[in-house]
Chains A and B, each alone.
Chain A
């Protein structure tokens, strides 16, 4: 799970999100770039952020940064097509000559490298570089931020998140890795311990990409990864500036990319007020706002007709949620969770973030409609006749009353002014407002909320600990690619908060949870995509019937760019610009 910088700013909380593959309904509201692109000039970006979350390929796990790096300077075996709309999902070969050849029930995957692909120092990108790159994912003593799928998939013994292979620095179990990933000339073979029909989607992730062993600077590689694409890094100062210039060693014939600007500059650390001013006044016409705007300014900008061709408003790939800790001793009572769900003051929270038009709407599950195949409307929850978007404290009270018979201890605790429901939130300004509104809404149903604000910077590192301590906590998630296999298990299964304590618990709650987990594992191993989709739908319904989430929202995104920026298109797979298509108008 990674922070998406723009979400963290918009929602005011350290929302953990990953890249996503989704079909956005309709095309982008941006004016289609019908004019032909212009080569040359300097394209600028500005952000309140201090730095890229990570540039090291084995660490990069943020949608926007994945899209940025792969569009400009770091190539992977396979890429998404740089086209707007549904075609964007189509995989195309990048460093490889094809999108991967599976065999042995998708347990073996083979790729052949293209000729003529080089590093920025002129040397050829080899099979060994690819093999070395993926091996760095196993160096968990150094790299923990990136996706860890190879640890679960590659045919190397291990249990849980632990592998017998410890990465290229410690080198324990190197022989095991050398067997799982093999090179023969220009062909690389990945041997997996289970069928992974989606494996080629993972090959679009930077984490699968090459690293040249002799140029690996370990921890420092994050500041200056070696380029394989049409640009290379000429300057990267955290808090200050990041500059890309053309890479003279890059060879057009080896790539589908067409570079337009001569230079690309990212300015970090732009104060939020200033950032908004720049966007509203178009004072940097050749620049793109990487963050979006503060909610009040966002509405202003969205309703200004003069800005019509400098913005879009689209559903993003993410689901925002507030999860109830259903482990014993916490919100271990279905009726209590349900009461919270119905008392939740969704409308005020949505309004605070810009209203349904811009923030999004309450969701009916953790699978968003733009996940396509895996989505079906659920029943109950927001479709219940008692559901009110502004909160229905009367019905919630009724549910609490019923709950007194089933689980009196839990009801007593959540209505006790000295204890109440513990709710951890980050200590950002908007987050505090949200907590105030939630507390007020639940109070109307007789529930007590006891908020603890945790430092937003250390939020992610402490997440696992927090999840087990608190009753409620909010976050967000987007699928890694168009399969709920990257959603349901992460949200409610082994990747989630109360897995361990739930599996240890006894009683009816625990039994139903165990059944859920075994069904999740069945769905993960299902090779028939349609069958798998119907299994995800059922599991989504199951979780919502358990009210494991007391609130979900299908959110939208608004983005802005200057009047001189052309080639603006929404890249559905990554939920951001198709960076490679952007150019500076004359």
Chain B
């Protein structure tokens, strides 16, 4: 087990290094001159050069990456002379359009994204898994049919439509939330009601599509497992249906869900772009998309891309290790 974990950790780190280097190469290759973009009307070639130095884009790509990495651990200075700023470690960059260290922005937006992701995760796991199990148990009956309809609707509605419809027909029609409050951040520890108000509907929007997929997945897994030989054996042994379901069927049927849920959750941590946009939530997704559409703010774009990748890669690692723990066969692979 220990060897397995070490191997996976090393592999993950290598992957992360490669991905982050590629991110630097990709954004260097595209025809967007960040140095030109933060320099407006009275722009001269000399100014563009000065901006390039300020942004740290004057050195080869690999060195840019190396400085970024150094900044992550040691902090970094941006700009020169009296107009220089220090961003303490972990420094993800400095944005000259928003006059802040990118780390500050991430620290501000991440709680929003995390709240949204956790809320949605909770909703879809509870709804999806329980509905899936119930549908399998009541196969062919009303509940099963209802779940089929739910799955169909959930998978057919694009998130952005669900969100818009929820805002129009639920939130505004019934005045459930003060319109100025939609999308406002509330601290869950000091203001749990405000937090719920802020995140319930966005989480619900996000959860619907996932819940549908999880219902389908759970149902078919439970049915498939229930037809396995060892379940028949258990039944022949005279175990009660409840015990069979809980001890044998669910354990085997839900194990693959761990992988799926882990990966889906880590994907959301990088920002749920559409949901955040519709509800005006100021999360990582909004931060990165606004950086693209408003000014092409390269430091933010690079930082959020790398962070999102890191979430995916690390969650992969965790899931792999967890899976190896559950199913020892994996370790040998």
Chain A interface residues (CB < 8 Å from chain B) = 1, 46, 50-51, 139-142, 144-145, 148, 151, 161-162, 168-170, 216, 218-220, 222-223, 237-240, 267, 269-271, 273-274, 277-278, 283-284, 455-458, 460-464
B263 touches A (CB below 8 Å): no
A218 and B296 form a contact (CB under 8 A): no
12 more contacts with CB within 8 A, not counting A144-B39, A169-B81, are A46-B180, A140-B47, A142-B79, A168-B82, A169-B82, A218-B84, A220-B85, A274-B180, A274-B280, A278-B179, A461-B36, A461-B40
Would A269 and B183 be within 8 Å (CB), given that A144-B47, A277-B172 are in contact?
Answer: yes
Nearest chain A CB to B97's CB is how many angstroms away? Answer: 9
A458 and B296 form a contact (CB under 8 A): yes
Q: Which residues of chain A have C-beta atoms less than 8 A from B47's C-beta?
A: 140-141, 144
Q: Which residues of chain B have C-beta atoms less than 8 A from A460's C-beta?
A: 40
List B residues 174-197 near A (Cβ within 8 Å): 179-180, 182-185
B89 touches A (CB below 8 Å): no
A278: nearest chain-B partner, CB-CB: B179
A458 to B30, CA, bound (A): 15
A277 to B180, CA, bound (A): 10
A51 to B47, CA, bound (A): 25
The 10 lowest CB-CB distance pairs between A and B, nearest first, are: A218-B83, A457-B294, A274-B179, A141-B50, A161-B42, A461-B37, A169-B82, A169-B83, A144-B40, A169-B81
B319 touches A (CB below 8 Å): no
Would A219 and B99 be within 8 Å (CB), given that A141-B47, A168-B82, A274-B180 are in contact?
Answer: yes
User: 7 A-B residue contacts at CB 8 Å?
Assistant: A139-B83, A161-B42, A169-B80, A218-B82, A218-B83, A455-B292, A456-B293
A216: nearest chain-B partner, CB-CB: B82
Of B42, B85, B172, B180, which one neighbours A218 at CB under 8 angstroms? B85
A169 to B50, CA, bound (A): 13
Q: Which residues of chain B have C-beta atoms less than 8 A from A273's C-beta?
A: 167, 172
B85 and A464 form a contact (CB under 8 A): no
Nearest chain B CB to A134's CB is how many angstroms away? Answer: 16
B277: nearest chain-A partner, CB-CB: A271
Q: Which residues of chain B have C-beta atoms less than 8 A from A151's C-beta?
A: 42
A223 and B99 form a contact (CB under 8 A): yes
B44 and A457 form a contact (CB under 8 A): no
B44: nearest chain-A partner, CB-CB: A162
B41 touches A (CB below 8 Å): yes
B183 and A222 form a contact (CB under 8 A): no
A161 and B44 form a contact (CB under 8 A): yes
Nearest chain B CB to A399's CB is how many angstroms away? Answer: 34
Nearest chain A CB to B262's CB is how many angstroms away? Answer: 30
Of A148, A223, A267, A461, which one neighbours B39 at CB under 8 angstroms? A461
A218 to B99, CA, bound (A): 9
Q: Which residues of chain A have C-beta atoms less than 8 A from B296's C-beta?
A: 455, 457-458
B290 touches A (CB below 8 Å): yes
B51 touches A (CB below 8 Å): yes
Query: Which bucket holds chain B's interface residue count?
Result: 35 or more
Q: Which residues of chain A have C-beta atoms less than 8 A from B43's C-beta?
A: 144, 464
A460 to B100, CA, bound (A): 21
B98 touches A (CB below 8 Å): yes
A216 to B54, CA, bound (A): 18
A170 to B40, CA, bound (A): 19
Q: Which residues of chain B have C-beta atoms less than 8 A from A222's C-beta?
A: 99
A218: nearest chain-B partner, CB-CB: B83
A144: nearest chain-B partner, CB-CB: B40
B144 touches A (CB below 8 Å): no
Would A142 and B83 be within 8 Å (CB), given that A148-B42, A271-B183 are in contact?
Answer: yes
Q: Which residues of chain B have C-beta atoms less than 8 A from A238's C-beta?
A: 98
A161 to B294, CA, bound (A): 26
Q: Which residues of chain B have C-beta atoms less than 8 A from A456's C-beta?
A: 293-294
A269 and B85 form a contact (CB under 8 A): no
A223 to B81, CA, bound (A): 20
B254 touches A (CB below 8 Å): no
B96 touches A (CB below 8 Å): yes
Would A1 and B41 be within 8 Å (CB), given that A218-B79, A219-B96, A269-B282 are in contact?
Answer: yes
Of A169, A239, A271, which one neighbours B282 at CB under 8 angstroms? A239
Nearest chain A CB to B172's CB is how many angstroms away? Answer: 7
Q: Which residues of chain A have C-beta atoms less than 8 A from B295's C-beta?
A: 457-458, 461
B51 and A141 form a contact (CB under 8 A): yes
Of B81, B96, B179, B184, which one neighbours A170 at CB under 8 angstroms? B81
B39: nearest chain-A partner, CB-CB: A144
Would A269 and B82 be within 8 Å (CB), given that A46-B180, A144-B43, A457-B294 are in contact?
Answer: no
A387 to B55, CA, bound (A): 52
Q: Which residues of chain B have C-beta atoms less than 8 A from A142's C-beta?
A: 79, 83
A216 to B82, CA, bound (A): 9
B180 and A270 form a contact (CB under 8 A): yes
B21 touches A (CB below 8 Å): no
A219 and B180 form a contact (CB under 8 A): no
Q: Which residues of chain A have C-beta atoms less than 8 A from B280's C-beta?
A: 269-271, 274
A216 to B81, CA, bound (A): 13
Would A223 and B82 be within 8 Å (CB), given that A455-B293, A460-B40 are in contact?
Answer: no
Nearest chain B CB to A456's CB is how many angstroms away? Answer: 7
B85 and A219 form a contact (CB under 8 A): yes
Nearest chain B CB to A325's CB is how many angstroms away? Answer: 18
B106 touches A (CB below 8 Å): no
B54 and A141 form a contact (CB under 8 A): yes
Q: Which residues of chain B have C-beta atoms less than 8 A from A461's C-beta?
A: 36-40, 295
A271 and B293 form a contact (CB under 8 A): no
A220 and B293 form a contact (CB under 8 A): no
Nearest chain B CB to A414's CB is how many angstroms away? Answer: 27
A168 to B282, CA, bound (A): 36
A222 to B185, CA, bound (A): 24
A220: nearest chain-B partner, CB-CB: B99
Nearest chain B CB to A16's CB is how many angstroms away? Answer: 9
A267 to B184, CA, bound (A): 10
A341 to B293, CA, bound (A): 32
A56: nearest chain-B partner, CB-CB: B99
Q: Which residues of chain A have C-beta atoms less than 8 A from B183's C-beta?
A: 269, 271
Nearest chain B CB to A351's CB is how many angstroms away? Answer: 26
Nearest chain B CB to A457's CB is how many angstroms away? Answer: 3
Q: Which residues of chain A have C-beta atoms less than 8 A from B81's C-beta?
A: 169-170
Nearest chain A CB to B176's CB is how many angstroms away? Answer: 13
Q: Which of B38, B108, B179, B295 has the most CB of A within 10 A?
A: B179
Q: Which of B37, B40, B79 has the most CB of A within 10 A?
A: B40
A349 to B82, CA, bound (A): 49
Nearest chain A CB to B47's CB is how many angstroms away? Answer: 6
Q: Which residues of chain B have C-beta atoms less than 8 A from A269's C-beta?
A: 183, 280, 282
Q: Which residues of chain B have C-beta atoms less than 8 A from A455's C-beta?
A: 292-293, 296
